[in-house]
Amino acid sequence: MSYEVVCGIETHIELNTDTKIFCNCTTAFGGDPNTHCCPVCTGQPGSLPVLNKKVVEYAVRAGLAVNCKVNTISHMDRKNYVYPDLPKAYQISQYDEPLCENGYIILDSGKRIGITRIHIEEDAGKLIHEDGYTYIDYNRGGVPLIEIVSEPDISSPEEAKEYAEKLQLIMRYVGISDCKMQEGSMRCDVNVSLRKFGSNEFGTRTETKNINSLNFIQKAMYAEIERQTDILDAGGTITQDTMRYDDVTDTISPMREKENSDDYRYFPDPDIIRFEVPQAKIDEIKASLPELPFDKLKRYIDGLELPEMTAKHMYRYRKVCEFFEEALKLGAGVKNASNLITGTIYATLDTEEDKENFEIKVSPSQFAELVKLLDEKKINFKMAQTTLQEMLVSGNPASNYIKAEDMEGVSDDEITKFCQEAIDANPKAVEDIKSGKDKAINVMFGYIMKQTKGKADVKKAEAIIRDLISKM
């Protein structure tokens, strides 16, 4: 390609407050159409908005998590435009005094993606197109949003996806949103332009609206880059359009011409007074932030000495990390605890959302009790796995499944005896092992584990079997 990609992303994130930004209507997802709204949500004459204090706190929390400066004085503006899902013909947003400014996110490559601003605003309703008709559901109208606007520092679809993924993870960690893209609680508008390598001037950008998947961000960018390249190579010019990405056909097409900020005729909202966030409150929120995900990943690898792959399988899910760390506090060993979580427990959680929610019947103390038996070699890993599977179904403690005799272990003499019996009973497997077919040893393991009721140390049994066979 003879062009350089210039991309910035505007990310809308729904805040998980109980009530909307300017009224007491619920923010619960779903519900029958138009049952979660009131005159304030739809801007009926005479209704007056009251700013939800929790929205401001959550926005400050988001800003601090991505290294923003928080402005102590801010205000709301009216952004004027006519659209069916916004019946009052203006959106209450922020323009020249956003709550947070000048932050950044660092990609794995070390590249810093600047964040221009984070402002708070209300969401619009939702248009539903069915059978040639368009219906409007105002339940979403007035749900609180933050809009996180990045600098045009992104240079490829891969960087765009990584930026959005990191942003999503951070916002989930600080607890301001579930960021479920499939439910619209996080949506990205991707601005793309091309310019010749070496040029300092920006090309004309287009904006692909409301992308609801990390993979679609990448795909939509590829499609738009290809479209703009074809136009420029043919000697054409790019028009400043708002685009739509069709994930079924993997194509992109113009929806309408894109407006500039002066088209919206911003002016301060006369119904909401300027507000102040005291520095003491900002400091209090900053002190309450949890360890952020990428700091936690580094600590898991460098501090706890977890293998990088294991650490990456855990750090993404805040509740998993809380469970793991609570078990460690109660005496569980790092290695066995992490292996049982990423192996046995994850096997019962089918989706990313299941891991995110991490709703299991086993408590950290029950889990720690089991792991300590394994750490102390009173049970082997196989028995720990089997017991944990039972615990995950019933919610009962390990003591319900492990008896005193199960922890007595198996002596070396007993293991040797059973290994010899396994060899005698499986001559073909012995020949296979001698000829280099190592997997044949699993036949022996089955016999030994059955005879010892799962108590034998498999590694010890393997060493004995190989020793006995080498002497044959």
Residue 459 has pLDDT above 80, yes or no: no
Q: How confident is the model at residue 283 (pLDDT cuts 50, 70, 90)?
A: very high
In a shared domain, residues 345 and 445: no
In a shared domain, residues 391 and 420: no
**pLDDT tens digits, 197-235:** 888 889 999 999 999 999 999 999 999 999 999 999 999
Q: Do 25 and 176 contact (CB within 8 A), yes or no? A: no
More confident residue, 277 or 455: 277
| pLDDT-above-70 percentage for the chain | 98
Q: What is the pLDDT of residue 64?
A: 98
In a shared domain, residues 212 and 102: yes
**pLDDT tens digits, 443-457:** 888 888 777 777 777
In a shared domain, residues 314 and 393: yes
Pairing label, strands 3-14, 144-150: antiparallel
In a shared domain, residues 269 and 309: no
Q: Do 462 and 446 contact (CB within 8 A), yes or no? A: no
The whole-number average pLDDT for the span 72-79 is 96
Q: Do 180 and 39 contact (CB within 8 A), yes or no? A: no
CATH of the domain at 452: 1.10.10.410
In a shared domain, residues 351 and 302: yes
More confident residue, 435 or 157: 157
Q: What is the pLDDT of residue 407?
A: 61
Q: Considering only 89-98, 187-196, 260-269, which range has the smallest mean pLDDT? A: 260-269
In a shared domain, residues 463 and 381: no
Q: What is the pLDDT of residue 391?
A: 96
Domain limits for position 426: 412-471
Pick the last residue of a domain from 363, 382, 407.
Answer: 407
In a shared domain, residues 199 and 83: yes
Q: What is the pLDDT of residue 122?
A: 96
The whole-number average pLDDT for the span 339-365 is 94
In a shared domain, residues 38 and 125: yes
Q: How confident is the model at residue 409 (pLDDT cuts 50, 70, 90)?
A: low
Q: How confident is the model at residue 420 (pLDDT cuts 50, 70, 90)?
A: confident
Pick the last residue of a domain from 355, 383, 407.
Answer: 407
**pLDDT tens digits, 111-129:** 999 999 999 999 999 999 9
Pick the last residue of a domain from 282, 313, 344.
Answer: 282
In a shared domain, residues 298 and 271: no
**pLDDT tens digits, 132-167:** 999 999 999 999 999 999 999 999 999 999 999 999
Structural domains of the chain, count = 3
Q: What is the pLDDT of residue 431?
A: 87
Residue 57 has pLDDT above 90, yes or no: yes
The whole-number average pLDDT for the span 242-258 is 87
Q: What is the pLDDT of residue 469?
A: 86
Neighbouring-strand partners of residue 133: 130
More confident residue, 43 or 326: 326
In a shared domain, residues 417 and 403: no
Q: What is the pLDDT of residue 406?
A: 67
The whole-number average pLDDT for the span 173-201 is 92
| pLDDT-above-90 percentage for the chain | 73
**pLDDT tens digits, 35-46:** 999 999 998 999
pTM: 0.83
In a shared domain, residues 257 and 143: yes
Residue 412 has pLDDT above 80, yes or no: no
Pairing label, strands 69-70, 100-106: antiparallel
Residue 47 has pLDDT above 90, yes or no: yes
Mean pLDDT of the chain: 92
Q: What is the pLDDT of residue 405?
A: 65
